[in-house]
Amino acid sequence: MPIAHHPLTGFQAGFHDREREEVAATLPTMSVPAGSADVEQTTFGTKPPATLVASFDGLGVGFTGPQGTANFRNPSDNTLAVGPNHIVQIVNTRMAIFTKKGKQYDTTGLVLYGPGETRNVFKGFGGGCEARNNGDAVVRYDQLADRWLIVMPIFSRLPVRQDAPPPSKAGDPAKPKSVCASDWPMKR
């Protein structure tokens, strides 16, 4: 005899069914915008995949560069940006700069810098970014301004800086001319 029909559990089984229906009624309805099925790709395309141009080992366990060997914790928070002559990678609290084949270098993936603490970008600037090597930094290359942007969150309150210099205009990520910081108050 199924347990839901058992004389001793029939009431409980009915109670759980009603409870389940009440919970289901409070859950949000999952929906998709009209026309989404028309643009959803459900099969592979007919064109071949992108050609792999270069491949090299980046930051990871056992990575060795001019500044030593990397030791990482999990989970890793990876970010990577590509400029005209360099590839910059940040993983957790460490960063590395690699060559990119082109006008300046004849090969891609040679280590120019790293693994180094991400906060080294802010050396001489003072403040929380220089003092604390927090993780979760993000790197981007601004091709219109030929400059690198590295954002490193600081997960605590810092005093407001009034002396922040203007943004960098250097195209070389290893030689920033200046660094800029913005402080947003954290909500209590």
Per-residue pLDDT of the chain (188 residues; tens, 9 = 90+): 444 444 444 444 455 667 767 766 777 777 878 888 888 888 888 999 889 888 998 988 888 999 998 877 666 788 999 999 999 999 988 999 999 999 999 999 999 999 999 999 888 877 778 888 887 899 999 999 899 999 888 777 666 666 655 555 556 665 554 454 544 443 43
Cβ contacts of 173 within 8 Å, gap of 6 or more: 83, 86, 88, 97, 148
Joined together, the tokens standing for residue 77 give 């928070």
Given 3-state DSSP classes, what are the helix, strand and coil percentages for the chain, each rounded to the nearest 5?
Answer: 20, 20, 60
- Could you give the angle at the alpha carbon of 62 between the alpha carbons of 140 and 111, nearest 5°? 45
Burial class (CB in 10 A: 0-12, 13-18, 19+), 158: middle
95 forms beta bridges with 90, 116
Query: What spatial distance separates the first Cα and last Cα of the chain, rounded to whole Å?
Result: 58
Predicted pLDDT at 164: 56
For 90, the 3-state DSSP assignment is: strand
What is the rounded distance in angstroms from the CA atom of residue 150 to the CA atom of residue 123?
Answer: 13
Joined together, the tokens standing for residue 68 give 């030593």
Burial class (CB in 10 A: 0-12, 13-18, 19+), 118: buried
What kind and span of H or E run contains 131?
helix 128-131
Predicted pLDDT at 144: 92
Provide the 10 A C-beta neighbour count for residue 86: 22
Predicted pLDDT at 170: 59
The alpha carbon of residue 162 and the mean position of all alpha carbons in its chain are separated, in whole angstroms, by: 28
Predicted TM-score of the model (pTM): 0.64
Q: What is the DSSP letter of 101?
A: B
Q: Tell me which residue of 131, 109, 111, 110 sits closest to 119, measured CA to CA.
A: 131
Joined together, the tokens standing for residue 42 give 């459900």
